[in-house]
Amino acid sequence: MLSHDRIWQAIDRLAERNRLSPSGLARRAGLDPTTFNRSKRTSTDGRPRWPSTESISKILEATATGLEAFLGLEAGGRGRPVAFRPVPLLGLAQAGAGGFFDDAGYPAGQGWDEVEFPGTTENVFALEVTGDSMLPLYRDGDRLIVARDAQVRRGDRIVLKTRDGEVMAKVLQRKTLKQVEVASLNPAHPGRTIPAGDIEWLGRIIWASQ
C-alpha cells in the first residue's frame, strides 16, 4: 500500500539517484525549492502532508523517470520493479448511475475497463475525470485511484457519491455522524455541507494519473 513515509523516501531516493538534494530536485522540476523540505512533510498540527500528484509528475518528467521506476523506489528498493494489478475503471457518469456498485460501494459485475495499479490495497477502483469541474488539480481525462476503505481525515482529497447519484471530488473539511463538510477543488465552485444520510459512499483519493 502507498504510504506517506515511503512516498517521501522515494522522492529522496530519486534526488539521490540524480545527484541532487531534495531542493535541487524541486528546482530542476521548476518547483519552489522548499517543496520537498522536511518541514513541508507534516502540517503545523502534526498531520502527515502528502506531496501533490502534480509535483510528482513534474519531477518524473524532469528526471526522465517512469512511474513504475518511481514506485519501485517507493517500495523500498532502488528502482526494483513492483507488482501491478488491474483495478476497475469507471467514468463519472457510470459512477453516478444506479446498479454499478454493490452494497459495499465497490464496482459490481464484470466487463469493466481496467487500469494497472501497484500494491495490494483492497477495495480500490479508478474514476476517469470528465469536464472542468475539478480544475485546477484534475483535468479532463485524468484518472483518480479511489480507496473505499481508507481512513479519511481533514484535508484529504476524497470522492463521494450521494444517494441522488451525484459524484464529486472534494477536499474533506469535517466529518461527523450527522454531516460531511467539503471544500471544492475548483475555486469557482462553493463548498458544501452534506447530511451523512444523503451519502451513499465516500473514498479517499490515493493516486492520480495526470
The DSSP-derived string for 70-101 is: HHHHHTTSSS----EEEEEEEEHHHHHSTTSB
Q: 67 and 32: one domain?
A: yes
Last residue of a domain, one of 16, 43, 74: 74
Cα radius of gyration (the chain): 18
Q: 137 and 100: one domain?
A: yes
- The answer to pTM > 0.85 is no
Q: HEC string of 102-138? A: CCCCCECCCCCEEEEEECCCCCEEEEECCCCCCCCCC
Last residue of a domain, one of 50, 74, 98: 74
CA distance 132 to 153: 25
Q: 97 and 185: one domain?
A: yes
79 domain residue, yes or no = no
The CATH number of the domain holding residue 66 is 1.10.260
80 domain residue, yes or no = no
CA distance 46 to 34: 18
What are the pLDDT digits (tens) for 94-147?
666 655 566 555 666 555 688 777 665 668 888 888 877 777 778 888 888 898
Q: Domain count for the chain, please give it.
A: 2
Domain range holding 130?
Answer: 86-209
